[in-house]
Structure 1
């Protein structure tokens, strides 16, 4: 009876240790993914700014005239 309780306790400790390791690994992966998300967000912000600047330049450069068929 005592051996069963000891075996059960050992299995529970192993399970807890495995779960703690898994949680730590997942936390590390989440932190890495967050860095990637931040990099992508920064790149998107820069591209959006460039697009808006190009769009403004295009509007200023194109004169508004009637097409030749009018």
Structure 2
């Protein structure tokens, strides 16, 4: 064995640890992807609700602008 060589036992152990590390990272990436998808769904729901509320507010505001002016009743 030369100075740069790794014993076969150590190499197999290192490979096993690297494979385990990659598996954990793949699992974490999948969980994060699921969370992002859920947050995107919630964001879209909130955006839709905000759009509907904005439309309702604008419609109510238009209706309020068309209300007759307040005048004194004729009996004054």
TM-score w.r.t. length of structure 1: 0.88
Query: Which structure's residues are more often helix, by fraction?
Result: 1
Is 1:8 matched with 2:23? no
Structure 2 counterpart of 1:68: none
RMSD: 1.2
**Inter-partner Cα distance in structure 2 for 1:9 and 1:46:** 55
Residue ranges of structure 1 left out of the alignment (5+ in a row): 66-70
**Inter-partner Cα distance in structure 2 for 1:62 and 1:13:** 76
Is 1:22 matched with 2:23? no
Query: Which 4+ stretches in 1 moved above 2 angstroms?
Result: none
How many residues are paired up?
65
TM-score w.r.t. length of structure 2: 0.81
Structure 1 counterpart of 2:3: none
Aligned mate of 1:32, from 26, 38, 62: 38
